[in-house]
Amino acid sequence: MASCKDCLHYELCRVGLSLPDYVNCNYFKDRNKFVELPCKVGDKVYYFFSDSNYKKYEVCEIVGFHIDKYRTAFQIELCGYKCLVDTEFLGEKIFLTREEAEQARKERETK
């Protein structure tokens, strides 16, 4: 049986309401079933294209996420197409800010 310490709301209940640990509430949400994502649907991200002749980034919109037992991926709209990009490429092919994308482009131009 799950305890309050396994609940997503544990810190709020414990600190804000000063409830003892053994009180179970009707709002229990298992914290192990939640994934913290680095952005939300509708956010703009920067997808970096890189091959021997073409080094640039495109501004894309997050249109969804794909989460299964094997991976977590961004679903982006890129040049009119929807595609999935694994979150493991965050900081390599996908950047959350223009500054990060520009820095990566400059670094790759010098290589």
- Are residues 28 and 81 located together in one domain of the fold? no
Q: Which domain holds residue 23?
A: 4-33
User: pLDDT tens digit string along 8-59?
Assistant: 777 777 655 555 555 556 777 777 777 778 889 999 999 887 665 667 788 9
Structural domains of the chain, count = 2
Which of 5, 59, 48, 62 has its CA nearest to residue 28? 5
Q: Indicate whether 66 belongs to any domain.
A: yes
- Are residues 50 and 13 located together in one domain of the fold? no
Q: Kindly report the CATH number assigned to the domain that includes residue 85.
A: 2.30.30
User: pLDDT tens digit string along 75-102?
Assistant: 998 888 898 989 888 988 899 999 998 8
Instruction: Note the pLDDT of residue 95.
Output: 93
- Higher-scoring residue by pLDDT: 21, 103: 103
- Are residues 95 and 50 located together in one domain of the fold? yes
- Please state, rounded to an integer, the average pLDDT across all residues of the chain: 79
Q: Indicate whether 56 belongs to any domain.
A: yes
The torsion angles phi and psi of 25, rounded to 5 degrees, stand at -115, 175
- Are residues 56 and 9 located together in one domain of the fold? no
- Are residues 27 and 63 located together in one domain of the fold? no
pLDDT at 68 over 80: yes
